[in-house]
């Protein structure tokens, strides 16, 4: 179920620029990202999701719009909760614009909450099974030059050291119908991500892909290349969200009629 996204599926819920997914595995409950604020708590309450039952919190990468609700989640979670991320997710991160350099990393309140639960933190750089049948990619190889990282993202407040986004990870699970992929922002590139997951699963077909594809500022050429590359996978269900951008979302819906679906807050996807 979608707990945080840039749009809503019904008026009683609230939207913000960010992502959070509740993944109910039956024996375990997983939270993939936490949005950028306390909004996750209110949406979860309206949707009847008991966040204190969470077993694992996964951070797709270390940007505020994916980690900002972490402090609220951890304060209310039980002692058993585990936080999974790349070690680089907790390092400083900035965005340089023409007028300023903005801190876009994990908020200080969330870093403090993590320090209080340091024994519950697990960090990964390589593909890892974090629950039965549920995997994190670890660092994603960059094989397509068309998917170079976005400009202006840096690791230093001076805005000089480009961020290689090594912390960008995706979640995937194997199902009888094919692999289901959950993406945060795809800073590593959505095609790089999907190619790597298909390699990790031995070429298993991709059934469902949902999340941000970071195409909001992509050129027409980049979007056209992405559409052509996505056709290689014959994905049955696409849910472009968050940072995908209106132009790219429209292009995806046009290119894959009957296979693209809206995915605002409150959307439930049964696998």
> Which domains are seen in the chain, by residue range?
2-141+150-255 (3.60.15.10)
The pLDDT score that the predictor gives to residue 97 is 86
The single-letter DSSP state of residue 98 is S
Cα–Cα–Cα angle for 217, 208, 29, rounded to 5 degrees: 100
The pLDDT score that the predictor gives to residue 149 is 66
Phi, psi (rounded to 5 degrees) for 211: 130, -170
The pLDDT score that the predictor gives to residue 171 is 98
How would you classify residue 178: left for phi > 0, otherwise alpha for psi between -120 and 50, otherwise beta?
A: left
Nearest to 183 by CA among 128, 239, 134: 239
The pLDDT score that the predictor gives to residue 271 is 81
Mean pLDDT by 10 residues, the chain (271 residues): 97 97 94 98 97 96 98 91 97 91 96 92 96 96 89 90 96 95 97 98 97 95 97 97 97 98 96 81
14's CB contacts (< 8 A; 6+ apart) are: 8, 39, 42, 43, 265
Q: Which residues of 124-136 are buried (b: 16+ CB within 10 A; e: fewer)?
A: beebeebbeebbb
Is there a contact between 29 and 53 (Cβ–Cβ < 8 Å)?
yes
The pLDDT score that the predictor gives to residue 151 is 78
């Amino acid at each position: 179920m979608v707990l945080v996204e840039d749009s809503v599926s019904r008026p009683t819920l609230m939207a913000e620029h960010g992502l959070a997914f509740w993944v109910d595995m039956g024996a375990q409950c997983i939270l993939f990202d936490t949005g950028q604020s306390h909004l996750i708590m209110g949406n979860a309450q309206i949707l009847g999701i008991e966040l204190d039952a969470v077993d694992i919190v996964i951070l797709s990468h270390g940007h505020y719009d994916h980690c900002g609700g972490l402090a609220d989640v951890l304060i209310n979670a039980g002692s058993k909760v585990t936080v999974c991320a790349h070690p680089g997710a907790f390092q400083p991160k900035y965005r340089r614009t023409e007028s300023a350099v903005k801190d876009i990393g994990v908020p200080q309140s969330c870093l403090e909450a993590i320090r209080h639960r340091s024994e519950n933190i697990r960090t990964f750089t390589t593909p890892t099974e974090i629950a039965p049948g549920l995997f994190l990619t670890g660092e994603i190889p960059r094989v397509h030059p068309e998917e170079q990282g976005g400009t202006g993202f840096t690791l230093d407040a001076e805005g000089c050291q480009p961020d290689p986004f090594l912390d960008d990870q995706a979640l995937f699970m194997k199902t009888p119908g094919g692999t289901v992929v959950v993406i945060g922002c795809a800073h590593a590139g959505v095609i790089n991500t999907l190619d790597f997951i298909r390699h990790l699963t031995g070429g298993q077909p991709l059934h469902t892909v949902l999340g941000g594809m970071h195409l909001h500022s992509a050129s027409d050429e980049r979007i056209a290349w992405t559409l052509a590359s996505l056709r290689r996978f014959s994905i049955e269900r696409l849910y472009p969200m968050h940072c995908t951008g209106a132009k790219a979302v429209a292009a995806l819906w046009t290119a894959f009629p009957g296979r693209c679906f809206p995915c605002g807050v409150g959307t439930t996807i049964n696998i």
